[in-house]
Amino acid sequence: MKNYYILKVTSGTEYQVVDYLNKIIKNTYLEKYVFNPVVPESKTEKKIKGKKREFTSRLYPGYVFVEIDFSDNPDDENYWKKIVKEILSISSVSAFLGVKRTDRPIPLSKAEVKSYLINIGQIKESETEETKSVFNKEEEVNIIAGGFKGCTGVIKEIDKDKTKVIVEVKIFDRPTPVELTIEQIEKK
């Protein structure tokens, strides 16, 4: 299964790393495992001397995003080490974000990938709406994450972006409002 990973690279060499990764992907066994290396960019318009100009800037200087398929290979259980070694052999790549050079890389979570894809403009925020559960005011919910995990409560408010809710939880038999994200609750 393909997941996104982040490479820590020397700042200023992001585009060279992407070019080199694309070359080794085409010319080696990595074409089966490594996909779509990219430097996340944002485009902005500025007026200079009365003329509009478009500028491109890196969203995350010093980082390259890449999709890698580390799904289990029945022939070789340590094949992921070969892939990591090949990628880390690139001179400007120092590590996978969040782990030591010798550990198996940790993929980005689905929420992080969604945020990343929105930032680089591959998907629009409105396209992610279908993945959000629809909750209504006065609906009873279970809290599945955070400090109030295992409690039940009633939704009192839903923000306009439908990403956060105020849930009224009874603590010592007193109603207490708690702000939670949609991901922290489920329908009862």
How many other C-beta atoms are found inside a 10 Å radius of the C-beta of residue 98? 13
The answer, yes or no, to whether residue 14 has pLDDT greater than 70, is: yes
Percent of the chain whose predicted confidence (pLDDT) is above 70 = 89
Say which amino acid occupies 80. Answer: W
Predicted TM-score (pTM) of this structure = 0.61
Domains and CATH numbers, the chain: 2-129 (3.30.70.940), 132-187 (2.30.30.30)
| Pairwise CA distance, residues 187 & 135, whole Å | 8
| Pairwise CA distance, residues 168 & 179, whole Å | 9
Question: Per residue in 53-83, is it b (16+ CB within 10 Å) or e — as a string?
Answer: eeeeebeeebbbbbbbebeeeeeeeeebeeb
What pLDDT shows up at residue 147?
Answer: 84
The answer, yes or no, to whether residue 6 has pLDDT greater than 90, is: yes
